[in-house]
Structure 1
């Protein structure tokens, strides 16, 4: 679990990122401009900052330069923009940004960028005192500046999940000599329980994996009588 500061002037972006990151167990603080970001940075000393480039008072690259020049860039920063260019990517990376996220931001890219940033060193301060990536994860190197592309700058050497070794729970035996509805409910309950355990109880990840909207997923799990705390206990 990390303390993450989200800086963006768009309410919808702040709400979306806050919901996803909170669901992953992180503590999230929100700022809608550079002034609020400065206060939050000084007050809460976040483990990671998600920083929008285009803001009404001070743009994100200027704020990044300010933190770097005053010795306040002690945490990884992920830049966000819907209009990223190779020049902006190179400039922000030289200043100390870990990576870019291109808007609209997908959940998969967000989570990979956050995992990668928290696993790497803090700019200029050596290794950060942050949770290590868990078993089953390998880190890829950050691209060299000479080889940097817009795509590389946006993804910035993410932590990539290795193939998951499935345990016995991945295979189940079901009794077929019963009404179709009962057999289907039994299968679906086992299916969702398996994915909840595999994803550590994260409803966001399970929704993405199963292709269901979160609201629909909650209703489905309640209908099937699935214990929502089971996945989190298994992961603990």
Structure 2
């Protein structure tokens, strides 16, 4: 699952792309002009942007130049247009665009371009959080019995990475969690473990995780995005 920003002044195009990408399990944000695109990029830091060239306020190529100039072109950008010339496509690529799609966009070309863009997108490393102390299994199991059978290592912002974690016992520590964190941060850290556990257990199936956790899929997508949990890395290979 990735966070994708679609920028296009045509409502029909935005809705169509949102539906297609949403069905693929991505979280989609929509912007109808350059100003909304600037705000969305700043607030959500998308993993990939689909950017229309011809827009009424600021065209896509100008916006692309602006992002490059300001040093914020940190995500793959795929340009879209139904009227662009070859020169325009070449210029956009030279500036930093990853690909160019001609409207009307073929479904397979869209999905292939998005997959290529996400493959090239590299997640920035997360800094280590010092000063963490261990929490016994009994505490975690008391709040969520499912942890007693979790044969998986969990890693998130407030948890130290572990390798080859066997099924937990009363004498082992499943993770490191600081109880000195503010309540909201501690709750978020616990929820990350909770959802990572279910994603691993269900092989990355969002449908089954939604059923297990009692959340609607839309709510689940938003929750995972908020917590910074990537569901795709838990998907079973070959599915």
- Normalising by structure 1, report the TM-score: 0.53
Residue aligned with 1:30, SS = strand
* 1:179 alignment counterpart: none
Q: List aligned pairs for 1:201-212, cutoff 5 A.
A: none
Mapping of 1:172-183 within 5 angstroms? none
Distance between the aligned counterparts of 1:63 and 1:234, measured in 2? Answer: 38
- Paired positions, count: 133
Asked whether the equivalents of residues 120 and 128 of structure 1 are also in contact (C-alpha less than 8 Å), the reply is: no
| Alpha-carbon distance between aligned partners in 1 of 2:52 and 2:68, rounded to the nearest angstrom | 16
CA displacement 1:70-94 (0-9 Å, x = unmatched):
0010000000000122211111011
> Which residue number in structure 1 is paired with residue 11 of structure 2?
11
Deviations 1:100-139 (A, max 9, x none): 1100011111100000111125xxxxx4459xxxxxxxxx
Distance 1:21 1:80 in 2: 15
1:65-144 paired onto structure 2 within 5 Å: 65-121=65-121, 127-128=122-123
- Change in Cα spacing, 1:128 to 1:201, as seen in structure 2 (3 Å) is closer
Counterpart of 1:163 in structure 2 is none
Partner of 2:55: 55
Deviations 1:175-223 (A, max 9, x none): xxxxxxxxxxxxxxxxxxxxxxxxx899xxxxxxxxxxxxxxxxxxxxx
Aligned equivalent of 1:186: none
The CA distance in 2 between the partners of 1:234 and 1:86, in whole Å, is 38
1:41 maps onto 2:41 in alignment: yes
Deviations 1:30-51 (A, max 9, x none): 0000010000010000000000
Which stretches in structure 1 are left out of the alignment for 5+ residues? Answer: 122-126, 131-199, 203-231
Tell me the C-alpha RMSD between the 2 structures. Answer: 2.5
- Give the gaps of 5 or more residues in structure 2: 126-204, 208-234
Contact 1:51 1:78 in 2 (8 A): yes
> Could you say if the C-alpha distance between residues 17 and 129 of structure 1 is closer, same or farther in structure 2, counting changes exceeding 3 Å?
farther
**d(CA) in 1 for partners of 2:93, 2:238:** 35
Partner of 2:73, secondary structure, is: coil
